[in-house]
Amino acid sequence: MKEGIHPVYKDAKAVCACGESFTTKSIKPTIHVDICSKCHPFFTGKQKLIDAEGRVEKFKKKYAKKN
């Protein structure tokens, strides 16, 4: 490997939108994430829709049955 071209990885604090925080390695001191293992539906077994831009409502409106 070449010397001096690789970034220095330091301990970084990752903070989830649910409030959970954990330590990982990164070149940045803090990382903000939307979903972590404490709130992800795969790990919790609960379905939770994360809709930041109104995509779910737009989909439901577009494909709603017309009576």
pLDDT band at 47 (very low <50, low <70, confident <90, very high): low
Residue 3 lies in a domain: no
CATH label of the domain that carries residue 23: 4.10.80.400
Residue 23 lies in a domain: yes
Q: Which of 35, 15, 12, 34 lies closest to 23 in space, CA to CA?
A: 12
Residue 24 lies in a domain: yes
Q: What pLDDT sits at residue 14?
A: 93
Residue 50 lies in a domain: yes
| Confidence check: pLDDT of 67 > 60 | no
Which tens digits make up the pLDDT trace of 33-45? 888 878 776 666 6
Structural domain of residue 28, as residue ranges?
10-62
Residue 44 lies in a domain: yes
| Confidence check: pLDDT of 51 > 70 | no
Domain count, the chain: 1
Section 49-59 average pLDDT? 71
Q: What pLDDT sits at residue 13?
A: 95
